Structure 1
Amino acid sequence: MQVTETLAEGLKREIKVVIPKQDMAAELNVRLADAKDKVRINGFRPGKVPMAHLKKMYGKSIMADLVNEIVRERPTKILSERGEKSATQPSISMTEDEAEAEKILSAEADFEFTVSYEVIPPIELKSVDGISVTREVVEIAEDEVNEQILKIAESARTYETKKGKAADGDRVTMNYLGKVDGVAFDGGAAEDAELVLGSGRFIPGFEDQLVGLKAGEDKVITVTFPTEYPAANLAGKEATFDVTIKDVAAPAEVEINDELASKLGLESVDRLKEIVRGQIESQYGNITRQKVKRQILDQLDEMYQFDAPPSLVDAEFENIWRQINTDLAQSGKTFEDEETTEEEARAEYRKLAERRVRLGLVLSEIGEKAGVEVTEEEMQRALYAQLQQFPGQQKEILDFFRNTPGASASLRAPIFEEKVVDQLLTEIKVTDKTVTKEELMAEEEGEADAKPAKKKAAPKKAKAEASEAEGEEAAAPKKKAAPKKKAAEDSAE
């Protein structure tokens, strides 16, 4: 086998592989000899079929299998021998001339094919001794725990039907039909809908107009949808709702005691407090971890600057850009509304894609050198979490992960990434700092409100830049907000 490099331009590589016809013929004869004792042909005893006859009947099909096997397996071996890693699946090209292909299958011509790919640049890992992070820690006050328990108690409170007018805090049961310009709209109707007045669940002004109504009364309510309402066809428009009140119920007194805990399936109110405290700690802990992770990635970004494989960057950018345009369409906005232009947004998100890919490759190298592995049990848990998100579609989800090449990488990558971060946290300097919950949340809220045109430091706000721990395409951003919510930067969290 002859291997000749025909292109080495930046990260792009192209190699020509030639397997002499005599080598192909020799391998064909080996396979024919192996098949001789296995095939059954009328008129011949087992193992007594002449090689010439066997070659005439099965030679081309066996040679076709050999060709497929070579193009499937040899490129990986060749790249390994060259000490290279391909960023994506290498592209294989071979002759399309039927006459030439016929000669190859007959072992009358050398088998030639070309392998085109982009290499992952070699990454020389640097010492992490200089990396330091501040881990913000919030001390959970008893008042905060009690406040959360009160909310739980209020959500679990009972209501008793009352006579008379509905007041703030009462629960009304109603039928309603919404119309815009006299025409009913999708999602604007319901029967036996329950609403606690003053909860703010409905369009501003809707609940206020229900106060004072009694069971059995009808009323036409007029409201105006907010200009930023998610449904573009309703945003900013005036609508009427034909409402029929079916029941008015007053709230029972809220009591935080063992009876409340029992209703929630717990043995005591102390156990309820313990669980609520744990949930609050977990919520703050998640924010703390993401801020620590962002600090780590920011510093890694400064340490490692190299050209990322264009194919990976293109895939990552398309992934981000598709989500951005979906968000804009759902919100009924344009880039101008977000104080930017499409050209500026493209340039900015392109930089973000480059950073995500580059950091993904760095984390992959760090994890590989540290022996970080994702266990089968961890993969199964991740798959189970996916199944829980799509009730009733479990079979389709399982089939997707079983039959889609690379789908399992979307489960593995975030697990691998988090384990690499855990590994780094054992090696770098970590300083704990006690802060208030307001201090912990302040930066998060500020970042969430940044607009694309103002995100001059976006590529350094490492919320999502490394979701592809193995250089695979990152999962689509999960946030549904428009670009000003930095959806594309949050996918790794």
Structure 2
Amino acid sequence: MNITKEQVDALNAIVKVAVSKEDYAEKVETVLADYKKNASIPGFRKGAVPMSLIKKQYEKAIMADEVNKLLQQSLNDYLVQEKLDILGNPLPKETDDFSWDADILTFEFELGLAPEFTVDLSAKNKLVEYKIVADDALLNEQVERIQKQYGKLIPQTVVADGNEIKGTFANEEKGINNSTVITLDVFKDKKAAKALIGKTIGDVVTLKTKGLFDDDHKLMDYLKVAHDDAHGLDIEVTFTIESIDAIEKAELTADLFNKLFGEGVVTSLEELKAKIKEDAEAQFAQQADQKFLNDVTDFLIESTSFDLPSDFLKRWIQTVGETPLTPEQAEVEYANSEKGLRYQLIENKVILANDLQVKFEELKDFTASLIKKQMAQFGQLNPSDEEIDGIVARVLSNQDEIKRISDQVMSEKMLNLFKDKVKAKSKEVNYQDFIKAMYGELK
């Protein structure tokens, strides 16, 4: 067997594999002999079928099968040996004059090669790393939410200021039909609040969405419209009242604090706000980290320039699914996946350049941390090490779970690397301003 490579250009190559009869003849003869032993053909006893008849019926198919196995193995070995970094899989080239009767069988495969490029994490950029703080407005709002949540609901028949109103926002044309709970102070438009005062269960009130709330993003929460639809949405919606309750707020007592956080953990309003601030900012930090990771990803894709073997990849995409795609379908699929492919190449380059690895001990520690957090949510605050180790072992016995958790650990390593290497501006914001920044509305 002889394998050679022809470099078409920097991103494309053709590998030629020449297979002689000596490469596969012995294996074919062995398989034919097995066929002869077990063949059941009318007119012949089992095992007594002439080899000439066996060859006539099966030799070409067996030869094709054995040659294909040989090709696959030898081509894979060649790619590893030559350290060829390919995209997709080799594509066999069709030849018009190919014959299985030839002494030398020649096969050609197209290769799409990964591009050579460098990634500069220290390049100048306009990235911002946000630190989200829980401001006084948010803390006061959360304290009031707790008091309402643990307070008493007193059913009412007529809407009054301060009531909690359950109802459904609807607009058939826009497909809006969302059941929610509101209080009148959520409305920026005081006419909307006034329109609900004095209404009873079953009444339907028509409201205009433009300027209804102090922030259009609240339309996403209360009407369940998409972000792009929320901005400047100027339609009428109906609000059907389903229940009305007055709220008798819970008092901020030791009993309430103990119910929320455990015996003696929180003993005053100041400590309650401190606890809310701690928990909120821990959650906010995760959101800020995810935005930073996404922003760096987009920046690296935009700032790292390299070509791809796009024509090859489009042809390869036609062949990989269960159903072959047309050239037009492959064009669309390539356009949808190109950004992801570019980042995958960039990420691999960054991982290799910075020797980022996920060790099994790290997987165990990360999994144990996740399990402890989940158990804490269900009130199991002090599980034993043996209990945690047993659950970790069960989780990591599943290969899909290992892959999922490995990806999470590597994502965390990438985030820490970016925080260290990428020169981003640091900015402290409250949560509302972060939401605006996340949707590109805060400069």
**TM-score of Structure 1 vs Structure 2, range by shorter chain:** 0.5 to 0.7
* Contact 2:3/2:16 (<8 A) preserved: yes
SS at match of 1:270: coil
Alignment match, 2:288: 287
Kindly indicate whether residue 408 of structure 2 is the aligned counterpart of residue 415 of structure 1: yes
Alignment match, 2:110: 116
Q: 1:212 aligns with which of 198, 218, 231?
A: 198
Q: What is the correspondence of 1:19-30 to structure 2 with a 5 Å cutoff?
A: 19-30=19-30
How far 1:84 sits from its partner (Å)? 0.5
* Contact 1:15/1:115 (<8 A) preserved: yes
Q: How far apart, in 1, do the equivalents of 2:136 and 2:207 lie?
A: 43
SS at match of 1:87: strand
Structure 1 residues 269 and 221, CA gap change in structure 2 (3 angstroms): farther
Q: 2:262 aligns with which of 263, 267, 289?
A: 267
Kindly indicate whether residue 31 of structure 2 is the aligned counterpart of residue 31 of structure 1: yes
* Contact 1:260/1:269 (<8 A) preserved: no
Q: How far apart, in 1, do the equivalents of 2:281 and 2:93 lie?
A: 57
Alignment match, 1:170: 163
Q: How far apart, in 2, do the equivalents of 1:40 and 1:357 lie?
A: 51
Amino acid at match of 1:9: D
Structure 1 residues 18 and 261, CA gap change in structure 2 (3 angstroms): farther
Alignment match, 1:41: 40
Q: What is the correspondence of 1:74-153 to structure 2 with a 5 Å cutoff?
A: 74-95=74-95, 100=98, 103-104=99-100, 107-121=101-115, 148-153=142-147
How far 1:96 sits from its partner (Å)? 6.3
Q: How far apart, in 1, do the equivalents of 2:301 and 2:229 lie?
A: 41
Q: What is the correspondence of 1:190-201 to structure 2 with a 5 Å cutoff?
A: 194-200=181-187
Amino acid at match of 1:255: E
Structure 1 residues 174 and 378, CA gap change in structure 2 (3 angstroms): same
Amino acid at match of 1:253: K
Q: How far apart, in 1, do the equivalents of 2:300 and 2:229 lie?
A: 41
TM-score normalised to structure 2 length? 0.60
* Contact 2:128/2:426 (<8 A) preserved: no
TM-score normalised to structure 1 length? 0.55
Root-mean-square deviation (CA, aligned residues, Å) is 5.7
Q: How far apart, in 2, do the equivalents of 1:134 and 1:274 lie?
A: 27
* Contact 1:32/1:55 (<8 A) preserved: yes
Amino acid at match of 2:40: I
* Contact 1:172/1:248 (<8 A) preserved: yes
* Contact 2:367/2:405 (<8 A) preserved: no
* Contact 1:32/1:54 (<8 A) preserved: yes
Q: How far apart, in 2, do the equivalents of 1:450 and 1:26 lie?
A: 71
Q: 2:236 aligns with which of 235, 239, 242?
A: 239
Q: How far apart, in 1, do the equivalents of 2:402 and 2:95 lie?
A: 33
Q: How far apart, in 1, do the equivalents of 2:201 and 2:133 lie?
A: 47
* Contact 1:161/1:250 (<8 A) preserved: yes
Alignment match, 2:246: 250
Q: How far apart, in 1, do the equivalents of 2:136 and 2:156 lie?
A: 36
Deviations 1:242-288 (A, max 9, x none): x6655432111143445546766x53473787587234224225425
SS at match of 1:212: coil
Deviations 1:313-362 (A, max 9, x none): 98999679759xxxxxxxxxxxxxxxxxxxxxxxxxx8x77863552241
Q: How far apart, in 1, do the equivalents of 2:247 and 2:137 lie?
A: 24
How far 1:77 sits from its partner (Å)? 2.0
Q: How far apart, in 2, do the equivalents of 1:290 and 1:237 lie?
A: 29
How far 1:222 sits from its partner (Å)? 5.0
Greater CA drift, 313-322 or 221-230: 313-322
Aligned residues: 374
Structure 1 residues 88 and 283, CA gap change in structure 2 (3 angstroms): same
Structure 1 residues 172 and 147, CA gap change in structure 2 (3 angstroms): closer
Amino acid at match of 2:185: G
SS at match of 1:169: coil
Q: How far apart, in 2, do the equivalents of 1:436 and 1:72 lie?
A: 56
* Contact 2:5/2:14 (<8 A) preserved: yes
* Contact 2:155/2:245 (<8 A) preserved: yes
Alignment match, 2:269: none
SS at match of 2:159: coil
Q: How far apart, in 2, do the equivalents of 1:312 and 1:358 lie?
A: 17
Q: How far apart, in 2, do the equivalents of 1:175 and 1:442 lie?
A: 28
Structure 1 residues 17 and 450, CA gap change in structure 2 (3 angstroms): farther
SS at match of 1:89: strand
Q: Gapped runs of 5+ residues in structure 1? A: 179-183, 324-349, 385-406, 456-493
Kindly indicate whether residue 65 of structure 2 is the aligned counterpart of residue 65 of structure 1: yes
Greater CA drift, 371-380 or 83-92: 371-380
Q: Which has the higher contact order (CA 8 A, sep 6+)?
A: 2
Percent identity of equivalent pairs: 17
* Contact 2:129/2:425 (<8 A) preserved: yes
How far 1:80 sits from its partner (Å)? 1.7
* Contact 1:140/1:281 (<8 A) preserved: no
Q: Gapped runs of 5+ residues in structure 2? A: 217-224, 267-271, 318-329, 372-399
Deviations 1:126-178 (A, max 9, x none): 999xxxx9987678789966753443443554421135x42232123457775
Amino acid at match of 1:415: Q
Structure 1 residues 259 and 121, CA gap change in structure 2 (3 angstroms): same
Amino acid at match of 2:58: Y
Amino acid at match of 2:262: E
Structure 1 residues 319 and 414, CA gap change in structure 2 (3 angstroms): farther
Q: How far apart, in 2, do the equivalents of 1:125 and 1:237 lie?
A: 45
Q: How far apart, in 2, do the equivalents of 1:143 and 1:301 lie?
A: 38
SS at match of 2:89: coil
